[in-house]
A = this chain, B = another copy of it.
Amino acid sequence: MTQPAVNRVVLAYSGGLDTSVILKWLKETYNCEVVTFTADLGQGEELEPARAKAELMGVKPEHIFIDDLREEFVKDYVFPMMRANALYEGLYLLGTSIARPLIAKRQIEIAKLVGADAVSHGATGKGNDQVRFELGYYALQPDIKVIAPWREWDLTSRTKLIEYAEAHQIPVPKDKRGESPFSTDANLLHTSSEGKVLEDPWEEVPNYVYSRTDDPETAPDTPEYITIDFERGDGVALNGEAMSPATLLTALNALGKTHGIGRLDLVENRFVGMKSRGMYETPGGTIYHAAHRGIEQITLDRGAAHLKDELAIRYAELVYNGFWFSPEREMLQAAIDHSQEKVAGTVRLKLYKGSVSVVGRKSPNTLYSEKVVTFEDDAGAYDQRDAAGFIKLNALRLRLLGRRDGR
């Protein structure tokens, strides 16, 4: 594979060993200028050290970008996805998938700002993240050059990587010298863990893998009740206190952590064609997801709700596969958002040792009518005799079939 000529590349840079090696390798291999971009998506790490490291590696100060994207992340990515009730393969809340498009978008913005002709990321060649990053890049800047070092270089083992680092004066933290027993990704929505000790799907996930949630067994013995308020399909308050999107999710994360909520052990199908096993911790997102379904139960019409359930399958697949910036994801979002206008009110939830349960919901926009549904006399709100005709006409085609086919 011949290398394209590259002048300036914007690298998604964490400051860690891998992306530091990439930074160096990009300079060496392409003889180009590297611009670093480090995003705070709520992964829970200090970002300023990344600046110091980048400077040490010779990146110009004006080429070091460190952005706090937490509010944008929750407001424009997590919440729209939560409106869809998206679950990949029935279970996964898409915590990694949903962060990638925002990183890609910001990288392209920076590339335009600094006049870079290429972007680069640290995702491997077997995973979904390379796809998500690169589909984002190409959608937003079709002629950008994309450099994916893990697919290109020959640093195919950790030993080689560390040798390269040492040969190039890149500091190698002690805990990175040995093999990490698994690999993680974190942001405000979740932490994922995969690889190594998790690779046998028959083996239970060891306790030391969990970092975002306390063990349900040691969680409080008393349930905690909370309320979340919604407006237009989005959470706006916790226990009656108004909060910004990222503040709300952060608070829910703390609650979810305490009560051991949101652990998921999953074998999933990657877009690149293989099965992988991951362990996801999505404490606040799991609570939020349950709450959103709860408020929809009383404010969403059946027709809208059932259509949404069908669209959500496709939506989740698109987000997982990296097609956030695609017309079809946007079409689905338009349909979903149209349904959320009246999704407002309060959901009451019970948190207890790993579980979250909706125990109450109320709304000024409720479509639930006690008067209609009641077992008591409904004063004519519903004429039970209508049901006879309803059933007769729904049965008509089945009767015609039955007459033809017998059974």
The answer to whether A401 touches B348, judged by C-beta atoms less than 8 angstroms apart, is no
A393 within 8 A of partner (CB): yes
* A387-B395 in contact given A196-B375, A199-B373, A325-B407 (Cβ < 8 Å): no
Nearest-neighbor residue (CB-CB) of A368 within chain B: B275
| A302 contacts chain B at the CB level, 8 A cutoff | yes
A335 contacts B by Cβ under 8 Å? yes
Q: Considering only CB atoms, which chain B residue lies closest to A223 in the complex?
A: B217
Q: Is the beta-carbon distance between A355 and B357 smaller than 8 angstroms?
A: no
- In the complex, chain A residues 149-204 whose Cβ is within 8 Å of any chain B Cβ: 150-151, 156-157, 183, 195-196, 199-204
Assess the A384–B124 pair: CB atoms within 8 A.
Answer: yes
In the complex, the answer to whether A204 meets B335 with C-beta atoms within 8 Å is no
A297 in contact (CB, < 8 A): yes
A200 to B370, Cβ gap below 8 A?
Answer: yes
Known: A305-B269, A310-B313, A398-B139. A151 touches B388 (CB 8 A): yes
Chain B hits for A404, CB < 8 A:
342, 365-367
> Among the listed stretches A56-64, A125-133, A232-240, which one makes contact with chain B, having 4 or more residues with CB under 8 Å of it?
A125-133
Q: Which of B301, B310, B313, B392 is close to A390, meaning CB atoms less than 8 Å apart? A: B392
- Known contacts A272-B393, A377-B156; A125/B265 CB under 8 A: no
Interface segment out of the listed A15-23, A30-38, A74-82, A140-148: A140-148
Inside 8 A of A157's CB, which chain B residues have their CB? Answer: 377
Query: Is A327 among interface residues, defined by CB-CB distance under 8 A?
Result: yes
- Distance A309 CA – B312 CA, assembled complex (angstroms): 10
Query: Which of A266, A267, A339 gathers the greatest number of chain B CB atoms within 10 Å?
Result: A267
Q: Which of A259-282 contact B (CB under 8 A)?
A: 263, 265-269, 272-277
A90 to B86, CA, bound (A): 11
Q: List chain B residues, Cβ under 8 A from A392.
A: 383, 386, 389-390
Whether B275 pairs with A367 at a CB distance below 8 angstroms is yes
Copies in the assembly, this chain = 4
Taken together as a complex, chains A and B put the C-alpha atoms of A199 and B375 apart, in Å, by 9
Task: Pick the contact of A269: B130, B268, B397 (CB < 8 A).
Answer: B397
* B395→A134 contact, CB < 8 A: yes
A115: Cβ under 8 A from any B Cβ:
no
Fill in one digit per residue for A358-402: 1 if any B CB lies within 8 Å of its CB, else 0.
111110011111101111010000111111111111111111111
In the complex, A323→B304 CA distance in Å? 12
- CB contact list, A287-325 vs B, under 8 A: 293, 297-298, 300-310, 313-314, 317, 323, 325
Nearest neighbor of A401 in chain B, beta-carbon distance: B301
Report A53 CB to chain B, min CB distance, Å.
Answer: 24
Whose C-beta in chain B lies nearest to the C-beta of A308? B331
Q: Interface size of A by Cβ–Cβ distance < 8 Å?
A: 129
Interface residue A336 (Cβ < 8 Å from any Cβ of B): yes
Residues in B with CB closer than 8 Å to A66 are none
A353 proximal to B (CB < 8 A): yes
A211 is an interface residue with CB less than 8 A from chain B: no
- Residues of B contacting A205 in the complex (Cβ-Cβ under 8 angstroms): 359
Could you say which residues of chain B place their CB within 8 Å of the CB of A325? 398, 407
Q: Tell me if A55 is interfacial: C-beta within 8 Å of chain B.
A: no
Contacts of A216 in B (CB 8 A): 352-353, 355
- State how many angstroms separate the Cβ of A58 from the closest Cβ of chain B: 28
Of the residues B1, B200, B303, contact of A385 by C-beta under 8 Å: B1
Query: 15 new A-B pairs (CB below 8 Å) besides A307-B328, A334-B337?
Result: A134-B395, A157-B377, A199-B370, A201-B298, A201-B366, A267-B361, A269-B301, A273-B302, A277-B373, A303-B397, A332-B335, A352-B353, A353-B353, A386-B390, A386-B393
